[in-house]
Amino acid sequence: MALTAGLFVVAACAGGSDDSRVSGPASYGEITYATYVEGENVRVMSDCPNTDQTLQGNPDGLPHIGSTTEREAIEAWLGNPEDSRIIPRNGEVWERDADGSIQVTQVEDWMIEVTVDEIGSCPGAPTSINGVPVIFRLADK
């Protein structure tokens, strides 16, 4: 399996962009995280082993449309815990058409970043909360 690594600068821009991989101004600053290509998927690297999230590619690893696009709704149920924050994801989501076919669409959306104190606090698999992908950062990095 060949992996291609890179850095991905994500910014939430008020009118959007045709390519979410292009950095741009954001009112709260820019967030940079590493991505890599694995097969047909672009994945976001998490500091915890086995918890990387799919950003683009196969619909099996993508969130359903609507679960990640409303920041205010995510804030309402997430609250304001000191160990997490909502960050731009700007990736692909899936939806099922009336004929049953699955469509993948690029959207401006969000994910949750959780800070863990040590590697032993990491989950063993990719995690989502209410359909919103979670990536993990180690506190000492």
User: pLDDT by residue (tens digit) across 53-106?
Assistant: 999 999 999 999 999 999 999 989 888 788 899 999 999 999 999 999 999 999
Q: Alpha carbon of 37 to those of 14, 67, 68, 119: distances in Å?
A: 27, 24, 22, 24
Looking at every residue in the chain, the average pLDDT score rounds to: 80
pLDDT value of position 23: 31
Q: How many residues belong to the chain?
A: 141
The mean per-residue pLDDT over the stretch 11-35 comes to 44
Domain ranges of the chain: 3-138
Q: State the pLDDT confidence band at 34, using cuts at 50, 70 and 90.
A: confident
